Each structure stands twice: as C-alpha cells, then as structure tokens.
Structure 1
Amino acid sequence: MKKVILASASQRRSELLNMLIGPVFEVVISSYDEKTIADLTPADLVMYHSREKAADVAGKMEEGIIISADTVVVYDGDVMGKPVDAADAAKMLKKMRGKKIQAISGITVMDVATGKQITEHEVTDIWMREMSDSFIRKYIDTGETEGKAGAFAIQGKGAILVERSEGDFYNVVGLPLFRLSKMLEKFGINVLDNNCY
C-alpha cells in the first residue's frame, strides 16, 4: 500500500485524480510561488513548476508518492496565464479566437522516501472557434474565466469555445490521466489494482 499525495489546491485536479485512483489520496497544498522564467520554453516551464511544487510538499512529508502538475495555455509561443480581470480575459480570448492553441502540462511523480522522481509533459492541440466580441462578453459574464489559464474552462461552458482538440482531453482540464497512469506504474502503482491509500 502506498500513500498518495496530490500537491495541488485545484478542485479539478482532485476530481480527476479521484476518477483515476478513487478517494484514496491526501491533498497537501504547495506553498511554491509560480513565476514565469523568461529563458524557459513553455514545456520546460511547466515541468520546472511541477518539480518545485513536489519538492516543496516533500519537505513536509516523511513518506508517500507525491503527484504535482502545472498547466499553461500557449498561443503563438506565448504563455496565456490566468486573467487578472474581465478586460484581460477579453484580450486573451480575442487573441485566440479562430486560432490553434496548446494546453501544456508538466507533471511530476516523486517518492518521498527514496527520492525517486519522474517529470514529464503532455501537449494537447486545441482549435478555438471564431467568436464575436458580444459572444466573448457573454462567456466572461459566466464567471468561468476567473482563475483559468487561457481564460476558459473546457470542462464547463467553455466547451463551446473549442471547435476540436487533438490529444488528451484531461490534459486541458489540468491532469493528463493517461500519462499519469503510465508514470505511476513506474512507482509500483497500477490504478486498476487499487494499491494505494
């Protein structure tokens, strides 16, 4: 039996991990402060953040398998962060409408006791629909843009902003479940065996 710790305050990540392994994990929120590091690519940035979150939580634990993740939305090489307000959300959505964007997640799995650690990343391509200014305003009025990378939530009403996607859908939500399951296998956790607590 292995103790699993999710190093995230994200309700969405908790729901996805629960879907994968059941309600058998503990949530320990990382105090690591994410900042953009100019010389890192978006993929390297999210992997760096996921590693730092895992290391921060590992410092508070004596044992357990830590799972941490970081997700960004990227358009034309630029990271689209979380909007600071409605005007910022509108600016992001106008920039991305009718365009192809990417959701990139960095994910780290770490065994606190042994120090073994794996960090990988997942990319999902997303084609955004064309949107009028009034459509964008109405979407912002739903409140879904708040605290969301790229100013939309694909698992909510934001689903209608996405014409199509290619890759792991759950990666866009914030936790690439297929890749995570393969990573957990390397730590002796098979999600079908239910061998964690």
Structure 2
Amino acid sequence: MAANSSPFKIILGSSSVARRKILAEMGYDFAIMTADIDEKSIRKEIPEELVVALAEAKAEAIISKLESLDNQNKDDNATLLIAADTVVVYEGVIREKPSSKEEARKFMKDYSGGQAATVSSVFVSNLKTGFRKGDWDRVEIHFHEIPDDVIEKLIDEGTVLYVAGGLIIEHPLILPLVKKVVGTTDSVMGLPKALTERLLKEAL
C-alpha cells in the first residue's frame, strides 16, 4: 500500500525504535517528535490508567510544542498524533524502567520461571478536529527459568536498562526462554497494532 497517498499525516510521539518499526510495518509513513515530560510526576495506582495518562501527557507536550513552532501550514489534511506508553506489572506492582543494574537484575530474577504482564497505551489526537482518545492493551508473558549468565549478558549489553520493567521478549537470548505469550508481541514492544488501527480510524 502506498502510504504516501494517504490523506492524512502521522506524527509518532515516541523515540522508541520498536514503536517506529511496528508503525512502519503497519504501512504508514510518519514523522517523529518526542515529548520531554516528567513521567514520575504522573502517578496512578491502576496501571491501565497510568499508561493512558502518560500517553496523554506526552501528546499534550507535543501538541504545545507544535503550537509554539506555529509552522503548521494550514493544509486541508488532518495530522494524527500517536503517543504511547508501556509499563510492566509484576504481582500487581507497576514497574517502569529499572533505576540501576541491581534493579534490572532483580526484575529479571523475578520473571524467571514466573510471569509478568505488559500494559500498553495508545493515545491518538487529530490535530485538525481536536479528537483525542486513548485506550490500553494488556499482555501476559510466562517465562521458563532464566539462567543467571543470560541475565548478566543482558545487563552488560544494557538494553534492559532502558525498557519498562527491564523486560524484553524479542531479544535472541530471551526469546527461547519465553514459555507463552497471551496477547500480541507488538503490544509487549510498545505499540499494539490492532488498537492503533482502531484509534486511527476513529480519529478520522
């Protein structure tokens, strides 16, 4: 599908490589803008509420950035902004990015032989009409035992320090240790495709 011919522009409000990859797989062309928000200032007890609130805050920050640039050449086409957020939930507790190697190590030891869930939100804004809506998707991941040497390799390599809950499932070292995924991997990686499609359609 020739995405360039689509009657609307898309901005992905995320610097996440995984989210960029997923949106490109969906066949869309898009620009990237990032929001610098203080995620720690937004607190909710319920993970589903937290991820939607965080995605909405990112969207608001990007929209105000765009307004201050004010170079919106007023064309007739809509611009759709996609913001997203993901947290990991382990035994009912919300986990964000590990604050240290020690914390990442503890997180991964917890998952070993156990399970965790990811809750990912998508928040779509139509900058022309003012439509705004967010929703969330939850996935459960069950793990085999994760050997200590695998955990150490992942920590040395560093990727796990930059992802929610120190949890990655697409990594070649972890992939064979994933017992079962109840849900979709795109959701675990931060952008649930079906939810994104649904919100984009609603936004138009």
On whether the aligned pair clears a TM of 0.5, the verdict is yes
How large is the Cα RMSD of the aligned pairs?
A: 1.7
Local SS of the residue matching 2:18: helix
Q: In the alignment, what sits opposite 2:22?
A: 16
Q: In the alignment, what sits opposite 2:49?
A: 44
Question: Does the CA contact (< 8 Å) of 1:36 and 1:45 recur in 2?
Answer: no
Local SS of the residue matching 1:5: strand
Question: Does the CA contact (< 8 Å) of 1:28 and 1:57 recur in 2?
Answer: yes
Distance 1:84 1:39 in 2: 19
Local SS of the residue matching 1:60: helix
Distance 1:97 1:111 in 2: 42
Change beyond 3 A, Cα 1:99–1:175: same
Question: Does the CA contact (< 8 Å) of 2:139 and 2:183 recur in 1?
Answer: yes
Query: In percent, how many aligned pairs have the same letter?
Result: 30
Cα shift at 1:142: 3.4
Distance 1:153 1:36 in 2: 25
Q: Which runs of 5+ in 2 are unaligned?
A: 1-6, 67-71, 73-77
Distance 1:128 1:37 in 2: 30
Q: Which runs of 5+ in 1 are unaligned?
A: 189-197
Question: Does the CA contact (< 8 Å) of 2:88 and 2:167 recur in 1?
Answer: no
Local SS of the residue matching 1:118: strand
115, 118, 122: which one aligns with 1:100: 115
Aligned 1:1-197 pairs, distance under 5 A:
1-22=7-28, 24-35=29-40, 37-61=42-66, 62=72, 64-157=79-172, 158-188=174-204
Which structure features the higher share of helix residues? 2
Cα shift at 1:96: 2.0
Pairs aligned (count): 187
Change beyond 3 A, Cα 1:101–1:136: same
Question: Does the CA contact (< 8 Å) of 1:74 and 1:101 recur in 2?
Answer: yes
Which residue identity is paired with 2:88?
A: V
Question: Does the CA contact (< 8 Å) of 1:7 and 1:29 recur in 2?
Answer: yes
TM-score, scaled relative to structure 1: 0.87
Runs of 4+ in 1 over 6 A off after TM superposition: none
Distance 2:65 2:177 in 1: 40
